[in-house]
Structure 1
Amino acid sequence: MSLARRGRSLTLSGFVIAGAIGIVSSTQTWLTVERADAGAEILVPGASALVLLAPLSLAVLALGAALSIAGPILRLVFAILAAAAALFLGWSTLQLLVTVPLAAVGPTVTEATGLAGIGAVSDVVASVTPSFWPVLALVGWVILLAAAVFALFTWRRWKTGGRRYRTGADAPVHTEGPVDAIDSWDDLSRGTDPTR
């Protein structure tokens, strides 16, 4: 079976892997704040560092589930939405890794110290060190983007959903060969006697 013909399963796998990485990493420590006042370090979880991390990761999982039964046009729409989510999450995660993300750690620092405002937070923060989790999340967003791009190029060649998703006139009529239980029930639903 060619790579393009396995497009649905490959794309679905990419969506599930990326979404799962996002959900799991949202509960883990992404950033460690060393305090300038020699206080205890502050641990910032992924969901606090990147507020849309958990909701968008859940959306990616939902897109993957919907993609498993979607028709041709929805495949294209879901692939575009997934690519947009991958680009947004990837860019946001990269910004946390390459800059000093005071805005990302601000709410957690405020909660731990009681100091509010970017000036007060920057006075408390000596350094911000990222953990392994945002790097792993970034890998997940690359996988998601690759799966979405793959879907954009192969969505026309995917096999359509099984007969269990078809109703009425769209359902194929069984005319010859062995009849299985599903075909018999489908024939009965259409008013045809499958025993003839």
Structure 2
Amino acid sequence: MSAAAPQTPTAKPPVWARKANVVLAMTILALAVFGTTTQSWIDVRLDPAAAANADLHVQGSKAATAVTALALVALAGGLASSIAGKVSRWIIATLVVLASAGIIVAAATVLADPLGAAQGTIAATTGISGGRAAASSTVFPILAVAAAGLLALCGVLLPLAGRRWRARTKYDLASRAARAGSGPVDEIDSWDSLSRGEDPT
């Protein structure tokens, strides 16, 4: 009887591809984007004749309402990627990249025309639409763009990093065992293979 060949230990994935690092990075970046929306994105100097208070600060959630929702979508996707399968990771990656692109576009719009983005808040505060005012953007839209750019990068890396993650689901384990020539893991996996139209033998 020949001795069984020693098993080659699974290579540890690089730092950028580790599940904990990828999930944590997406979570932190999505929360960072969300956090910027609670801060002032636009500082407005109103016409003194239009309001007693000539200073107005517009939060990101009001200057770019879509950013808050898109940040939450990216956050949910980042958390879900920790338990997602191969196909699901591609879907999540697409959603994260699209959400990041939407955040960048919305923030860039505020940076390009802060007065236009503040018009709704100005009208709600003063009751006057189209009055004279001077507006300037703060640093927070820029921070949102930077965080969203890194978030998009994480979304692109997600499917690549996911290839190095260990199988978590029973189907993934059975698939790897079949490719390795070791057969189904147990009787339950045999029935699951039959239900998927595969021959476990």
TM-score, with structure 1 as normaliser: 0.73
Query: Aligned-pair distance for 1:166?
Result: 4.0
Aligned length: 165
Counterpart of 2:194 in structure 1 is none
Q: Percent same amino acid among aligned pairs?
A: 25
Counterpart of 1:21 in structure 2 is 32
Pick 1 or 2: higher relative contact order, CA cutoff 8 A, min separation 6: 1
Query: Aligned-pair distance for 1:138?
Result: 1.4
Match of 1:59 among 73, 77, 80: 73
Counterpart of 2:9 in structure 1 is none
Counterpart of 1:74 in structure 2 is 88
Counterpart of 1:2 in structure 2 is 13
Q: Is the 8 A contact 2:42 2:114 kept in 1?
A: no
Flag structure 2 segments of 5+ consecutive residues without an equivalent: 1-11, 177-185, 190-201
Counterpart of 2:136 in structure 1 is 129
Query: Aligned-pair distance for 1:41?
Result: 1.2
Match of 1:12 among 3, 7, 23: 23
Flag structure 1 segments of 5+ consecutive residues without an equivalent: 173-186, 191-196
1:141 aligned partner, one-letter code: A
TM-score, with structure 2 as normaliser: 0.71
CA RMSD of aligned residues (A): 2.8
Aligned partners of 2:14, 2:109: CA distance in 1, in Å? 34
Query: Aligned-pair distance for 1:104?
Result: 1.6
Name whichever of 20-29 and 37-46 sits farther off: 37-46
Counterpart of 2:146 in structure 1 is 139
Counterpart of 1:44 in structure 2 is 58
Q: Any residues of structure 2 matched to 1:91-106 within 5 Å, and which?
A: 91-97=105-111, 99-106=112-119
1:53 aligned partner, one-letter code: V
Name whichever of 67-76 and 150-159 sits farther off: 150-159
Q: Is the 8 A contact 2:71 2:103 kept in 1?
A: no
1:104 aligned partner, one-letter code: A
Q: Is the 8 A contact 1:18 1:141 kept in 2?
A: yes
